[in-house]
Amino acid sequence: MKTAICYYSRHHGNTRKVLEAMAAGSEVDLIDVTDCHDIPWETYACIGFASGIYAFDVHPSVVDVFRQQLPSGTPVFFVYTYGGAKGRGAGQLEAAAREKGCPVLGAFRCKGYDTFGPFRLIGGIAKGRPNERDLAHARSFFQEVQTRLR
């Protein structure tokens, strides 16, 4: 069975870049949360939820889809990118997983180029991230998630 990853990635496409590395060569559907209608969630073996960090948290739309649409008990994993201060990270998604009895197969995070607010004035932070090393780690993480499913 396939994997789906539901994501929000708008600042520089950093999170999407990580997901594309994970998906390469595997059966993965990448679902943009802003265009997420009638998804047959029950046809997937597991679902990833992914986002940049915006104001110390994942984007609320990803948490909303998790809470409102995901069938209870679905195995899940989390992915996020951040500029330098991850805040709650995947905390809200972890809480939602506990409430819905969804086994969490892991969480991956790495830095992502950030030009938000004053950081733009200095050319941004976390320049060049995610880099090749981050993407290699992302691929290994995803392989591990697949192994845990078996």
Ligand X SMILES: Cc1cc2nc3c(=O)[nH]c(=O)nc-3n(C[C@H](O)[C@H](O)[C@H](O)COP(=O)(O)O)c2cc1C
Of 18 and 105, the one with the shorter C-beta distance to ligand X is: 18
Please report, in angstroms and rounded to a whole number, the separation of the first and last CA atoms in the chain.
Answer: 11
Asked whether 48 and 76 are in contact (CB, 8 A), the reply is yes
Tell me: does residue 41 bind ligand X (CB under 6 A): no
CB of 34 to ligand X, least distance (A): 12
User: x/- contact string, 63-92, with ligand X (CB under 6 A)?
Assistant: ------------------xxxxxxx-----
Sort residue 94 into left (φ over 0), alpha (ψ -120 to 50) or beta: alpha
Is 109 in a helix, a strand, or coil? strand
Of 19 and 75, the one with the shorter C-beta distance to ligand X is: 19
Give the interface with ligand X as residue ranges (CB under 6 A).
Answer: 9-16, 52-56, 81-87, 112-114, 116
